[in-house]
C-alpha cells in the first residue's frame, strides 16, 4: 500500500476514535453533529507539523497565539445550537475554520468573523479547498456582529467574553439561540441564550476555557 493511503487510513481511524471516545463517550448524541465531525478532515485545519495530533482530545495552536478548540467543545457547542439545516448562523472567532465547516454541514449559511488577518485568510482557503460554498468570512471585530446580514437564527462565540456582547444579542432573531463562553480571561461558563418575543432565557452549560474575545464589546487587549 502507498504511504499516502496508509496515512489517510490512520487519520480516518483517528477520526473514528475521536467520535467514539471523545464525543459519544461524553454524551454527544446528535447523530448529525457526529456525522459531520466524522466526515470533516480536521487535519487540514491545523498546521502541517501538527497534523498527526489533529485528533487529540485537546485544543491545538494555530498561530497568532490562538487555538483550534478541543473536538468535544466544538461538538457540544454545535449540539447546543439545535441546527436543523436551514439556519443562518453567525460565528465569532473563525480561527482555523474547523467550527465553521461543522456549521456549514448542518446549517444553511454561515457567516464567520476573525480579527487576525492571517488566520482568516488561511481559514478561507481551507474552507474553499474543501468546497464549502455556504460560508462567508470577514476580517474584523466580531463583538459588534455583522449588521449587513442580521438577524441570525444562531450565534456562536468561540472566544471567552467578559459579558454577553449586546450587539450580538440584538442581531439574534426571535426564536434564535446563541452559545457563548462568558467569564474571566482564563475560565468561563458556557452560556446558552434563547431569545423570544418576551425576552432572553439564559442557561449555564458548564465550565470551559477559551482564549479571550478581544474587541469593542469584549476584552480591551490580550
Categorise residue 63: left if φ over 0, alpha if ψ from -120 to 50, beta otherwise. Answer: left
- Rounded-to-integer distance, Cα 74 and Cα 99, Å: 6
Does 43 contact ligand SAM by CB under 6 A? no
Residue 159 makes contact with ligand SAM by CB under 6 A: yes
Should residue 67 be labelled a site residue for ligand SAM when binding is judged by CB under 6 A?
Answer: yes
| 145 binds ligand SAM, rule: CB under 6 A | no
- 122 interacts with ligand SAM by CB under 6 A: no
For ligand SAM (CB under 6 A), the number of binding residues is 26
Question: Given candidates 44, 54, 119, 168, which one binds ligand SAM under the rule CB under 6 A?
Answer: 119
Q: How far is CA 112 from CA 11, 63, 139, in A?
A: 27, 18, 9
Give me 69's grid cell: 478548540
**Minimum distance, C-beta of residue 187 to ligand SAM, in the bound complex (Å):** 14
Verify binding: residue 137, ligand SAM, rule CB under 6 A.
no
Positive or negative: CA dihedral 141, 200, 193, 184: positive
Q: What is the C-alpha to C-alpha distance for residues 219 and 213, in angstroms, rounded to an integer? A: 6
Q: By CB under 6 A, name the binding residues for ligand SAM.
A: 66-69, 92-93, 95-96, 98-99, 113-116, 119, 141-143, 158-159, 210-211, 213-215, 218
Amino acid at each position: 500500500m502507498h504511504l499516502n493511503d496508509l496515512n489517510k487510513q490512520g487519520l480516518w481511524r483517528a477520526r473514528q476514535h475521536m467520535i467514539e471516545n471523545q464525543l459519544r463517550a461524553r454524551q454527544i448524541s446528535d447523530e448529525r453533529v457526529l456525522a459531520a465531525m466524522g466526515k470533516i478532515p480536521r487535519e487540514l485545519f491545523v498546521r502541517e507539523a501538527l497534523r498527526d495530533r489533529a485528533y487529540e482530545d485537546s485544543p491545538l495552536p494555530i498561530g497568532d497565539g490562538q487555538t483550534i478548540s478541543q473536538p468535544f467543545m466544538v461538538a457540544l457547542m454545535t449540539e447546543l445550537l439545535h441546527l436543523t439545516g436551514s439556519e443562518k448562523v453567525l460565528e465569532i472567532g473563525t480561527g482555523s475554520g474547523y467550527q465553521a465547516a461543522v456549521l456549514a454541514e448542518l446549517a444553511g449559511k454561515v457567516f464567520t468573523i476573525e480579527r487576525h488577518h492571517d488566520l482568516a485568510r488561511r481559514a478561507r482557503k481551507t474552507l474553499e479547498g474543501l468546497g464549502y460554498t455556504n460560508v462567508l468570512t470577514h476580517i474584523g471585530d466580531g463583538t459588534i456582529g455583522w449588521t449587513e446580514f442580521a438577524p441570525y437564527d444562531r450565534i456562536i462565540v468561540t472566544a471567552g467574553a467578559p459579558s454577553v456582547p449586546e450587539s450580538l444579542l440584538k442581531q439574534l432573531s426571535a426564536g434564535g439561540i446563541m452559545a457563548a463562553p462568558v467569564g474571566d480571561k482564563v475560565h468561563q461558563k458556557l452560556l446558552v441564550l434563547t431569545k423570544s418575543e418576551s425576552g432572553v432565557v439564559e442557561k449555564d452549560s458548564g465550565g470551559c476555557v477559551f482564549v479571550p474575545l478581544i474587541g469593542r464589546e469584549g476584552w480591551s487587549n490580550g
